[in-house]
Structure 1
């Protein structure tokens, strides 16, 4: 009986130790991926590469998935409007944080690194009315990020930004989506920041780089939203972009998906007259194997380091012609020279595009 009690006590203590270890493991916040903000300066690559006649929707460019998440901290509140289970993301915050912060580099670094397409999520805080960049958790105030966009546009004539407000949340709305009630507040932020002074909403089927930049003498941005409030400076998301999400944590499945989309574009099933995005990202799966895979790769940026290197290995002109926007997590990752190699492939493609457009 004495041995039995000692065994039970040992097993209980072992279970408690494993439970505490698991809780600590889930709660650890660090990302285990380098902050790669150095390297080559691509601040003026569009002006230096493009000649004018190129259609905007055909120009290859780097894109950042959940672009404005560098300001996210472990202390950041969960955004109840944009997540299915705020409670779970609260109690497992270390894990949730590591799987939500997609970019380590801040916005000025992404812009200097050549990123021109930005996947943006924004949410309106119901208590304060302040808009924040978001991906499950609050990141920086959106006004700060818009000011950074405006500063770049003012300093870099000839560069074109695509600001894709992929999701705009509002917890006071019945469907948690930003609509007529508070859209005017977001529009005012865009206006006050100066971003709307560079915004254009041309016919994408015909719009060229030369037209929107006045021959490279001014910067431009195209702002996409699902609800535009009828504002003439904004492009309607539904009719302006094709960006299929593969929802997988398998690199091979992503690459197969990109092959499939390329065939759809080539066959005419997908229009070439819209922005077309390579969603080259891995997504944590809410299954036992998916959770284990996420824990094994530790964080979203760390997982992206290896994936981006593989993407650079297989990136090709067929994909770029079909889906010119290459959107990644941890977009400036230097692991495997991923960022440099992807930029080289993009610039080579655009140089050929510029040469072809000049002779048509």
Structure 2
């Protein structure tokens, strides 16, 4: 039963192993584990500060003898590779892209440059080939130092990598009714959200009109819980025609970093964020106005995946 698996390997195929009645539930009403800043599991300490950081941070970090190390510790958000995250049960990937000066490629980024996007897509493709009943949600939502030409090349790269595995459509009717039972009758195994107008040139990609991802923007765990509690009780979701991401993450303020200069996201924020978020989730219900995608930093910690999947035992259509 979903949420009652004991082996980590079980999560590789949790969608394929769902009870039949849950495969007839719209995906936007299922509890789905996701990762925050999915590509920030490896960051290049020798490549300079990335373009997603403000210029003042880039200047200070390059002039400070330990600046790169500080940025690295406060930018790393995952340990598992993208494929490792997917094998661990993650089905939503939060991917942030950046053009890198002097390189023809686009990279994932978070403070520093990560892997090339094309290498990340290889990991995703390998996972889908090995686990043909799983369905992924790729969310490209932040872009830095990219031209319209760069965007077009990225979109073509994604199409070339997956082709018929991408579920196009971009309509509230389809989003609200999309079920695994129906998807398995097609070659499609992913939906791709792309938050730039260049996506309009192609029919493969969805706009962010069909996914909400509110951000608490706090480093206080009580404020994080209160933020989600308000949204949950006030039915912040627009309705059945959308996906919704509940972000269980704390964001360091400048003061937090300065006063904890030798600490990190993992040691300073995650021990407060993940337990608080999972505690809040415990009695919540998946539905088209309730819990859907849940994402955190360091997805392998605090039994995040089994805790999210266990919510599907209480699902409401």
TM-score of Structure 1 vs Structure 2, range by shorter chain? 0.7 to 0.9
Within the alignment, does 1:291 sit opposite 2:257 as a pair? yes
Match of 1:242 in 2: 212
Q: Which residue of 1 aligns with 2:192?
A: 223
Structure 1 residues 189 and 77: alpha-carbon distance in aligned structure 2, compared to 1, 3 A threshold: farther
Q: 1: distance between equivalents of 2:157 and 2:71?
A: 29
**Rg bigger for which structure?**
1
Matched, 1:102 2:77: yes
The yes-or-no answer on 1:87 pairing with 2:87 is: no
Give aligned pairs, total: 296
Q: How well do the aligned residues superpose, as a CA RMSD in angstroms?
A: 2.3
1:184 and 1:99, CA in 2 relative to 1: closer, same or farther beyond 3 A?
same
Q: Is the 8 A contact 1:281 1:304 kept in 2?
A: yes
Q: Write the mapping of 1:159-198 to structure 2, written as runs, cut at 5 A.
A: 159-170=134-145, 178=146, 180-192=148-160, 194-198=161-165
Work out the CA distance in 2 between the residues paired with 1:41 and 1:88.
45
Q: Take 2:90 and 2:252, find their aligned partners in 1: how far apart are those partners?
A: 24
Using the TM superposition, name which of 221-230 and 89-98 deviates more. Answer: 89-98
Counterpart residue number, 2:31: 60
Q: Report the Cα distance in structure 2 between the residues aligned to 1:346 and 1:275, rounded to whole angstroms.
A: 16
Deviation at 1:158, TM superposition (A): 1.5
Structure-2 residue corresponding to 1:75: 46
- Counterpart CA distance in 1 for 2:115 and 2:259 is 29
3-state DSSP of counterpart to 2:94? strand
Aligned mate of 1:255, from 225, 236, 245: 225
Deviation at residue 292 of structure 1 after TM alignment: 4.9
Structure-2 separation of matches of 1:196 and 1:77: 34
> Structure 1: which 5+ residue stretches go unaligned?
1-37, 171-177
Gaps of 5+ in 2: 1-6
Q: Measure, in 2, the Cα distance between the counterparts of 1:165 and 1:95.
A: 26
Deviations 1:21-79 (A, max 9, x none): xxxxxxxxxxxxxxxxx945410001101533211111111111100111213223212
C-alpha distance in 2 between matches for 1:68 and 1:99: 14
What TM-score do you get using the length of structure 1 for normalisation?
0.76
Compared CA separation, residues 70 and 291, structure 1 to 2 (3 A): closer
Q: CA deviation at 1:343?
A: 2.8
Give the drift of 1:211.
Answer: 1.7
TM-score (structure 2 length as normaliser): 0.85
Report SS of the residue matched to 1:49. coil
- 2:234 corresponds, among 245, 255, 264, to 264
After the TM superposition, list the runs of 4 or more consecutive aligned residues in structure 1 that deviate by more than 6 angstroms: none
Partner of 2:292: 324
Q: Distance in 2 between matches of 1:125 and 1:87?
A: 17
User: Equivalent residue for 1:21?
Assistant: none
Contact 1:117–1:161 (Cα < 8 Å) also in 2 = yes
